[in-house]
Amino acid sequence: MNDIMNVNFNSITGEMLKVISDYDPATGFKGAYNIREDTSCAGRQSSENITINPKTDKPGIDIIVKPNTKGETVFIPACVTHTAVDDLVYNDFYIGEGADVVIVAGCGVHNEGEEDARHNGIHRFFLEPNSRVVYKEKHIGTGNGAGLKKIDPVTECFMKENSYLEMDTVQLGGVDKSTRTTSAELGDNAKIVVRERIMTDNAEEAVSKFHVKLNGADSGVDLVSRSVARGNSYQAFYSVVDGNNRCTGHSACDAIIAENGRVDAQPALNAANVDAALIHEAAIGKIAGEQILKLCSLGLTREQAEEKIIEGFLK
């Protein structure tokens, strides 16, 4: 074990870490981790098989996973806890051949002031042949300040043959503005699976942009976004899947609108090979009345019934 820095973060970060990365104050993080707070490192540790090094030319870290590493989890949460903080970080993940790991990369922004607070993480994944990654990312916003809480993650994935990447991304309230931009280039038999869940309320805005290039033979993507737009919030879903070889691609947006919410869904497919099998779906609507009536007949109020339906929809 290589202890680079002791953990030292404030109470706001501690509370957000419990939500975005399942942090347990009694035990701390196990294995490799890097905790970012207000543009600085609040704790870092490498493990025997996962090395975390700070970049020398710009803010951020390099996460290097040795070949054939199995069963390890690396945590890289980032928190902004003050108004007028604009945090930009560059994190690169180098996943060795045959490795199979979990990466937890949540983000929280807390703002009690008048100016905006923002985190922008630019993550690049380099997956070597036969490697597997499960990537988990939760976003939250807290605080009652007039300034906006913004989160704008950028994820770029470069996947060699037979590699696999599963992305589970969640944003369930409190973030005033967010733009998620994800791109991926896949080699032979590489697969990427994305599950996105977003809920917006009040005047919040959330934009998701995906662009997947299926360059390798028998590569594939399965992208599903589920979202709920409440209050006066706005969401946009843009996806482009390029089938440049024999491949399979599926893109779906399933959204619920409540009150004055608005959703814009624009999935696109581009096939450049006769054996590219591509499908896209988009469904936007309100909660079905019969679902509410059924739950109300069991003793729930209408508001409770709606909450239960939304909870199940976003699981």
Of the chain, the percentage scoring pLDDT greater than 70 comes to 96
| pLDDT-based confidence at residue 212 (cuts at 50, 70, 90) | very high
User: pLDDT at position 268, please?
Assistant: 95
Q: Worst-scoring range by mean pLDDT, 23-37, 78-92, 95-109, 136-150? A: 23-37
Q: Looking at the predicted structure, is the pLDDT value of residue 194 above 80?
A: yes
The pLDDT of 155-182, averaged and rounded, is 96
Report the pLDDT value the prediction gives residue 295, as an integer from 0 to 100. Answer: 63
Q: Average of pLDDT values for 230-237? A: 95
**Mean pLDDT to the nearest integer, 265-277:** 96
Length of the chain: 315
Segment 109-118 shows an average pLDDT of 97
Q: CA torsion 304→306→308→314, rounded to 10°?
A: -150
| pLDDT for the residue 8 | 85
pLDDT of residue 190: 98
**Minimal CA–CA distance to 226: which of 154, 291, 168?**
168
Residue 1 has pLDDT above 50, yes or no: no
pLDDT of 175 higher than 60 = yes
pLDDT > 90? residue 63? yes
Q: Rounded to whole angstroms, how far apart are CA atoms 308 and 292?
A: 9
How far, in Å, CA of 103 to CA of 198, rounded?
20
Averaged pLDDT, 99-106? 96
pLDDT at 308 over 80: no
Residue 38 has φ and ψ, to the nearest 5°, of: 50, 50
| Closest CA relative to residue 241, chosen from 265, 269, 219, 222 | 269
Which pLDDT band, with edges at 50, 70 and 90, does 304 fall under?
A: confident
| Residue 243 confidence (pLDDT) above 70 | yes
pLDDT value for 30: 87
Work out the average pLDDT over 178-205.
97
Mean pLDDT across the chain, nearest whole number? 92
pTM for the model: 0.92
The closest alpha carbon to 106, from 130, 128, 139, 81, belongs to 139
Q: Are 65 and 49 in contact (CB under 8 A)?
A: yes
Statement: residue 4 has pLDDT above 60: no
d(CA 55, CA 53): 6
* pLDDT exceeds cutoff 50 at 3: no
HEC secondary structure over 195-252:
EEEEEECCCCEEEEEEEEEECCCCEEEEEEEEEEECCCCEEEEEEEEEECCCEEEEEE
- Predicted confidence at residue 303, as pLDDT, reads 78
Residue 64: what pLDDT?
98
Average pLDDT over residues 85-92: 97
Tokens of 198: 């977003």
